[in-house]
Amino acid sequence: MDTDRRRGGRGRAARASVLLCCGVVVLAGCGAMPVTGDVKPVDASQPGDSQVQVYAVPPREDAAPIEIVDGFLESMTSDDPDFRTTRTYLTAEAARTWQPGEGTTVLAKAPSRNGPAVRDKERGTDETTYTLTGEQVAAVDAQSSYRPLAPSEYSQMLHLVQEKGADGKQEWRIDIVPDGLVLGQSDFKRLYRSVNKYYFAAGRTEDESALVADPVYVRNRTDPVTRMDTATQTVRTLLEGPSNWLRPVVDSSFPAGTALKREVTSLAPDDQNVLKVPLNKKAESAGPDACRMMAAQVLFTLRDLTPGVGQVELQGEQGPLCSLGADEAEEFDADHGSGGPDSQYFVDGEGHVRRIPGSTKGSGDPEPVTGPLGSGTVAMSAVGVARDEQQAAAVSANQQHLYVSSLVEESEPAAPVVSSRAKRPADRLSVPSWDGTGDLWVADRDPSDPRLLRLVDGAGEPQEVSVPGLDGGRIEALRLSADGVRIALRVSKDGHTTLHIGRVERNGSGEAEQVSVQDLRQAAPQLADVTAVSWAGRSRLVVVGKEEGSVQQVRYVQADGSTPSSGVLPGVNQVTAVAAADDEQLPLMADTESDGMVKLSPGDNWQTVLKEGSSLVYPG
């Protein structure tokens, strides 16, 4: 673990842990646990092994203050039930009031401890202080929501006093301790995993209903406090409601106060692949339609954790409430697309929009699209295609005008729907993007009047969308999520272009509807410059960028800003644009300066698709 790596072996000899067949690592000073199976050595600092269980031990008799501090920090990285052993490093009062579930501070490495502080001779030698320090890179709140942070200095005090133990002897214990856990990144990734819980986009009709992913972090295997397995923890967080950031734009179908029955600590499908979820009496107030929507929320939430689930059955105090099969749940999917595999679209060397059929997974022969975008006289430089693949929007070669045209029937060229007055092409219109409700978005980068614009159904008068929080930055590019409630923005400021995620809030209806992008948060603070971004699923993005002083890389980033353990993708040179589909079986596509348009299929390496062309996109 990070703790052992950072402390350079200051702990006791038994910190050279063993991994048993059941996946148990024993922390400092504990004896061997009697289990069956072969024994093999394990490096206790190895990151990310979620199968390793770590058990803490209480402090030894007459332990020095430094041992108490180190033991406490190490025990926080364990699978200690209810942190009972961890609390033995605290005074009786501190053990009673310490709240480990109040959140988690994530540091780049395990915390260093500085001290002891010089003691006041007049007050005696029965107290001392150590300071925990490190570089904080993220925080997880009490709702289990992750928030990345620009690296900043972390400093917290641990105060120790001597307290009389059960045998009457004075022992060092911690009496002032911050609530929550303090973990290094590798310990955090070993102990927790990212999961998506799902809520319905607010303000939609029944036909437009769409589930929105709300990513949270839950404990791998069993949570020390609740004793729930991972699936049960996830359902519990679902029932508790959406995260504060997402709450203004989503709704939950569960009646207020709905919770799992008290005794439920494990959820798993039966031999018929039916997962039964016992709920308290509050759930019984939901009608049949609301109950189906509740079941859809559970099914979408659990299907990545328990892929074998074919049906969810919600149960009340008196028996079954309703059930929903996996096939039935598809009606609630946010991506109301064309119904088949998404095609890829790009602009060829002559400025015409062309299509690679989705059934070929990026390997088919390009064909001109129907309509003026495929054969017209106006040359284009970039294209965005509606998710149903019925229409597209394209930016002219000089990036001054935006045109919208049908992709399914021939028509005469229409007048531009948006025009920019900027003098330089680079200051004009961005690549357009369509959201899951069929609205078209584009940014006008005119330095004298930068605007984010939205066209309802791709037509009519452009509506300006307010984006408080830009703080003088300029939107360079944008991509809307399939659910239509989140937007990814590349924002340039002070010579750098960074990635931000915003919440799309809609107030009113019809022509009077007002739309704004609220509560921008930086999604990849470790990247000093972001070149390209695309949504790659319900709560994941693929990002092209580089860290300060580093080389360009292609990586996955979660919508909450966290980075998966396997987030970095194979390298490819000089990427200028990237495109991904919600369907993970479709290849990742990219524009490059040296190799043309390339694709990355699952389990394969980058392959050249076309030598000429640009603005390669999937629908959206």
| pLDDT above 90: percentage of residues in the chain | 72
The series of mean pLDDT values per 10 residues for the chain, 620 residues long, is: 41 33 45 37 41 81 95 94 95 96 95 79 74 96 93 95 89 96 95 96 81 95 92 97 96 97 94 96 95 96 88 94 92 72 93 92 89 94 96 98 96 93 97 94 97 95 95 96 95 96 89 90 91 94 92 93 82 92 89 92 89 92
DSSP structural state of residue 2: H
pLDDT value at residue 22 = 41
The tokens describing 196, both together, are: 């998506």
Residue pair 580/535 in contact (Cβ under 8 Å)? The answer is: yes
CA–CA separation, 251 and 238 (whole Å): 11
Cis status, amide bond into 116, omega within 30 of 0:
yes
User: Which amino acid, residue 29?
Assistant: G
Q: Both ends of the chain: CA-CA distance in Å?
A: 42
- Cα 9 to Cα 44, 53, 108, 257: the distances in Å are 11, 20, 19, 48
Q: Which CATH superfamily is domain 378-617 in?
A: TolB, C-terminal domain (2.120.10.30)
CA gap 105, 185 in Å, rounded: 10
CB 618 within 8 A of CB 386: no
Query: What is the Cα–Cα distance from 158 to 66, expressed in whole angstroms?
Result: 11
Q: Which three-class secondary structure state does DSSP give residue 70?
A: helix
What contacts 24+ positions apart, CB below 8 Å, involve 591-594?
591/615, 591/616
Domain positions in the chain are 2-191, 197-332, 378-617
* Structure tokens given for 267: 């959820």
Q: What pLDDT is stored for residue 403 in this prediction?
A: 98
Kind and range of the H or E run holding 347: strand 344-347
Q: What are phi and psi of 347, to 5 degrees?
A: -105, 125
Helices (H) and strands (E) in the chain, counts: 8, 39
Looking at residue 119, its pLDDT comes to 60
The DSSP-derived string for 269-328 is: --TTSEEEEEB-GGGGGS-HHHHHHHHHHHHHHHTTT-TT--EEEEEETTEEEEEEETTG
Among 232, 294, 296, which residue's Cα sits nearest to residue 264? 232
Taking the C-alpha atoms of residue 588 and residue 543, their distance in angstroms, rounded to an integer, is 11
Please state, in angstroms and as integers, the Cα–Cα distance from residue 536 to each residue in 441, 491, 542, 565, 578, following that order.
Answer: 18, 20, 6, 16, 10
Closest CA to 89 of 98, 7, 33, 111: 98
pLDDT tens digits along 36-50? 343 333 333 344 444
pLDDT attached to residue 31: 37
How far apart are alpha carbons 90 and 160 in whole angstroms? 8
Let me know: does 135 contact 152? Beta carbons within 8 Å: yes
Give this prediction's pTM. Answer: 0.87
What distance lies between CA 505 and its chain's CA centroid? 20
Amino acid 122: pLDDT: 52
For 171-205, b/e burial (b = at least 16 CB within 10 A) is: bbbbbebeebbbbbbbbbbbbbbbbbbbbbbbbbe
Task: State which amino acid sits at residue 190.
Answer: R
Structure tokens at 387: 């998710």
Residue 8: its pLDDT value, please? 36
Which residue type occupies 305? L
